[in-house]
Structure 1
Amino acid sequence: MKMTTLKLKKILEDRLANDNYRTSYNRDKDTFRVEWKESKKGMSITLPNVVAKYNQRGEEAIDELEEHITEALRIMNEEHQLTGMEKYIYPVIRATSFPTKTKAGESLVCKDHTAETRIYYALDLGKSYRLIDQTLLKNEGWTLDRIDEIATFNVRSLDVDYKHDRVADNDFYFVAKQDGYDASRILNEAFLEEMKANAKGELAVAVPHQDVLILADIQNKTGYDILAQMTMKFFADGRIPITSLSFIYEDKILEPIFILAKNKPEKE
């Protein structure tokens, strides 16, 4: 049965029927909104995007959307605190183009990382997490330094198991635990130092999207090219893309690698 935006609207209305929710449909924008009646906090769904996913994946796409909406609404309706929740605070890496304010206009707590990336902070809530804003930080009487110290400590406690692949005499390592903090492991300095100590060549690092950290032991010029192509592919496929650039890790500093073209033969 072919899915249309109006059919999808009806399905979502039925699935999200709740006395505490209000739903509405914007015909001009083809969006469906669901929000809490009291607070008016909620989210808007672009229906044609979901129709496209449904055509690819069927009913599973709608099940996933329903779960995402109900979880997001639950989080919006909760009061959160940081004190007592210290072990659930983690750093998350995002592109520098990522918003620094919520849709409600709240400033998010963040700090610079590299020219391509920025660090935000998340309160882990099980199935999802909430990015920490300045209001929440201020209400707790916390500073940026304190939350950064706690989050960095917690990221070091995460597993750093990796898969290894050897291509054209270069070694590539992939951390992909799918826990929402794979890219965040780039902040585990002890892990990077260990990988650097064991590298035969130069250690390069990439965070193309949230759910992977790539480390590369580059032992020849071809290695840079392979890493560039690999990072670009991961970046294009990622659910939350970060950066298609890779970094050289040297003296505890991440320097972007600019690989402009495929390896060209050197002139004699």
Structure 2
Amino acid sequence: MKMTSIKMKKLLEQRMQHEDWRTSFNRDKDTFRIEWKDTQKGITITLPNVIAKYEQQGDQAIDDLEYHVKEALNIMNQTQELTGKEKSIFPVIRATSFPTKTKAGKELLFTDHTAETRVYYALDLGRTYQLIDKSMIEAEGWTLERLREIAAFNIRSLETTPNIDTVAGNDFYFIASQDGYDASRILNESLLEEMRANSKGELAVAVPHQDVLIFADVQNDMGYDILAQMTMKFFAEGRVPITSLPFIYEDKKLEPIFILAKNKPKNT
């Protein structure tokens, strides 16, 4: 029997029962919301997206959704401290279209990165993380610069061994450890310099979504076409998409490029 929004709503109501939570269904927007009764902090779920996953994965999709929603709601209801948790602070790459405030109106901390990307900061909580907002560092007496330095140090400590694939005379390197910070490794300057020093041609870098970092040692024009197709595919499939545009890395700078088929890239 086909799953409908009404049926999914009832299923989620059964799964998301908690004496301190309130659930609601918006028929016009086809969304389902779970929130804390006292603070109104919560999560809004787009039902057609859940139904699509349910039709592919069955109950596993609902199990995963239930876990992530409960984790997120519990984090929302906690006051997180940064002092003593310095080793758990990491940078996360997001698109420039990513919100700069939480739904509760708190200012998220970020640093400009490229024309396509920004760097936000996260406190790792194990199986998930919380983006750090201005009120959190003010409570600790920290500065954004201190936060940035701690995050930069920690990202350099993460494993960077890539998987390698050679296609049409071009070498592609993939870092996909699934720790939530794969794309963030683009901020590891020593890694970028090492990859540039070992490249035979031009070095291109891509962060199509949060869970992958791609390096391309482009040695012929075909390499640009392959990279463009690859980046677009990853971008479309990513859980947290970032940008479908790759970057050329040169003189310690990342320049977004728009790749025309069978042509060398042109800077955007």
**Identity percentage over the alignment?**
71
Aligned CA RMSD, in angstroms, stands at 1.3
Question: TM-score, normalization: structure 1?
Answer: 0.95
Tell whether the 8 Å contact from 2:221 to 2:262 is kept in structure 1 after alignment.
no
Tell whether the 8 Å contact from 2:13 to 2:23 is kept in structure 1 after alignment.
yes
Output aligned runs, 1:137-152, within 5 Å.
137-152=137-152
Relative to structure 1, the CA distance from residue 80 to residue 59 in structure 2 (aligned partners, 3 Å threshold; closer, same or farther) is: same
CA distance in 1: counterparts of 2:52 and 2:196, whole angstroms:
43
CA distance in 2: counterparts of 1:98 and 1:20, whole angstroms:
30
Q: Which runs of 5+ in 2 are unaligned?
A: none
Q: Which residue of 2 aligns with 1:68?
A: 68
Output aligned runs, 1:1-268, within 5 Å.
1-263=1-263
Tell whether the 8 Å contact from 2:110 to 2:119 is kept in structure 1 after alignment.
yes
What is the SS of the residue equivalent to 2:210? coil
How many residues are matched?
264
* Deviations 1:51-89 (CA, angstroms, capped at 9, x unpaired): 222112211111111111101101001110111110000
Q: Which runs of 5+ in 1 are unaligned?
A: none
The alpha-carbon deviation at position 9 of structure 1 amounts to 1.6
CA distance in 1: counterparts of 2:221 and 2:33, whole angstroms:
51
Relative to structure 1, the CA distance from residue 48 to residue 221 in structure 2 (aligned partners, 3 Å threshold; closer, same or farther) is: closer
* Deviations 1:150-197 (CA, angstroms, capped at 9, x unpaired): 000000000011110001111100000011100000001111111111
* Deviations 1:6-49 (CA, angstroms, capped at 9, x unpaired): 22222211112211212222233332221112222111222222
| Residue type at the aligned position of 1:250 | E
Q: Which portions of structure 1, spanning 4 or more consecutive aligned residues, are displaced by more than 4 angstroms?
A: none
What is the SS of the residue equivalent to 1:10? helix
The alpha-carbon deviation at position 258 of structure 1 amounts to 2.3
| Residue type at the aligned position of 2:49 | N
CA distance in 1: counterparts of 2:229 and 2:15, whole angstroms:
42
| Residue type at the aligned position of 1:59 | D
CA distance in 2: counterparts of 1:30 and 1:219, whole angstroms:
48
What is the SS of the residue equivalent to 2:24? strand
CA distance in 2: counterparts of 1:76 and 1:249, whole angstroms:
38
Relative to structure 1, the CA distance from residue 101 to residue 163 in structure 2 (aligned partners, 3 Å threshold; closer, same or farther) is: same
Question: TM-score, normalization: structure 2?
Answer: 0.95
CA distance in 2: counterparts of 1:249 and 1:233, whole angstroms:
21
| Residue type at the aligned position of 1:166 | T
What is the SS of the residue equivalent to 2:222? helix
